[in-house]
Structure 1
Amino acid sequence: MQDRGAITIGVARREDGASILSMLHELAASEGAPHPPRLSPSALERDVFSADPELHMLVAKNASGENVGFVSYHVNYSSWEGAAGIHIGDLWVSPVWRNLGIGGALLKHVIEANQHRRIDVFVVKDNDARFFYERFGFKEQTQWKLYRSEPGV
């Protein structure tokens, strides 16, 4: 039986790296991703755990100190708005820990830390997570379509 006591949210630390990568693989599998995540321990060290991180990560820990969820986000910039914003890359809560408010707590931390910034997130079309974000005031941007250029293509 897993401890369902207090959940704490905090900045990811080096010792969280292995569990973050494991949860990221769970996320990819649940979305039917065409390949596993390419984020590696060395990329975590360089891009998350450095003095000036490119990617910010928060983790949710249960009372036993086990990571049960995470959110990753980074700064973006809108020339249209003339201001920096935030892009949420991933938000994941392990399935057995869902429906306990953990995803909402992770999202609230990002929102509260960035109160004066626009926050964007992409959601897979048929993922019910879109309803989760709508409960927090996010609105679908139907006028946009995502286009991407992959290296080497």
Structure 2
Amino acid sequence: MIRTATPDDVPVLRTMIRELAEYEKALDEARATEEQLTEALFGSRPAAYAHIAQDDATGEPVGFALWFLNFSTWRGVQGIYLEDLYVRPERRGAGHGKALLTELARICVERGYERLEWSVLDWNEPSIRFYRALGARPQDEWTVYRLTEEPLRKLGTGTGTGTGAGAV
């Protein structure tokens, strides 16, 4: 069963986010607090949304999808960017991940969104096989760039060095 997350789910969401970060070998980067997640998901201006996969028999949360809206200037419509998709290892293979993605695809179709996108680590072969089996295709010609911490602060405060900007 897939359902929309509620504020009561925040503690288990945070736990599963940390489990995912550990699997992705980046536990030290998973610093979001329950308060931050509550505000992001259920504050006056939600920045993200979440769905919970639960065991049909027990109702126990076994996975989640956390996502937000993006916008395609080429298509002229919003889409969904899936930030995290996680199913606890002992519950994988029972259809929870597919059910979560099916729900997000349903939302896209219902609302007229034309894209459901996400990133996957290049070493995560089980996930890559799963996504390909659903018909998803990698966008090999695109490379993700990210500014965080000191480089972000430098650029945001105008104290960056400005070297190597190229044609931008």
The aligned length equals 146
- Match of 1:119, as an amino acid? L
Question: 1:38 aligned to 2:31?
Answer: yes
Following the alignment from structure 2 to structure 1, what is the Cα–Cα distance between the partners of residues 69 and 141?
22
Shift of 1:20: 0.8
Shift of 1:51: 4.9
What is the aligned partner in structure 1 of residue 15 from structure 2? 22
Given candidates 140, 148, 151, the residue that maps to 1:150 is 148
Shift of 1:65: 2.3
Question: 1:67 aligned to 2:61?
Answer: yes
Identity of aligned residues (%): 32
Given candidates 130, 139, 142, the residue that maps to 1:141 is 139
Q: Deviations over 1:39-90 (max 9, x none)?
A: 2111111111235421110001122221110001110012222221110000
Report the RMSD for the aligned CA atoms in angstroms: 1.4
Question: 1:126 aligned to 2:123?
Answer: yes
Following the alignment from structure 2 to structure 1, what is the Cα–Cα distance between the partners of residues 39 and 11?
15
- Match of 1:77, as an amino acid? F
Equivalence map 1:77-92=2 (5 Å):
77-92=71-86
Following the alignment from structure 2 to structure 1, what is the Cα–Cα distance between the partners of residues 141 and 91?
35
Following the alignment from structure 1 to structure 2, what is the Cα–Cα distance between the partners of residues 138 and 10?
23
Task: Assess if the C-alpha contact under 8 Å between 1:28 and 1:36 holds in 2.
Answer: yes
What is the aligned partner in structure 2 of residue 3 from structure 1? none
Given candidates 73, 81, 88, the residue that maps to 1:94 is 88
Task: Assess if the C-alpha contact under 8 Å between 1:72 and 1:88 holds in 2.
Answer: yes
Following the alignment from structure 1 to structure 2, what is the Cα–Cα distance between the partners of residues 119 and 113?
10
- Please tell me whether Structure 1 or Structure 2 has the larger radius of gyration of its CA atoms: 2
Q: Which runs of 5+ in 2 are unaligned?
A: 152-168
Q: Which runs of 5+ in 1 are unaligned?
A: 1-7
More helix by share: 2
SS in structure 2 at match of 1:133: helix
Runs (4+) off by over 3 Å: none
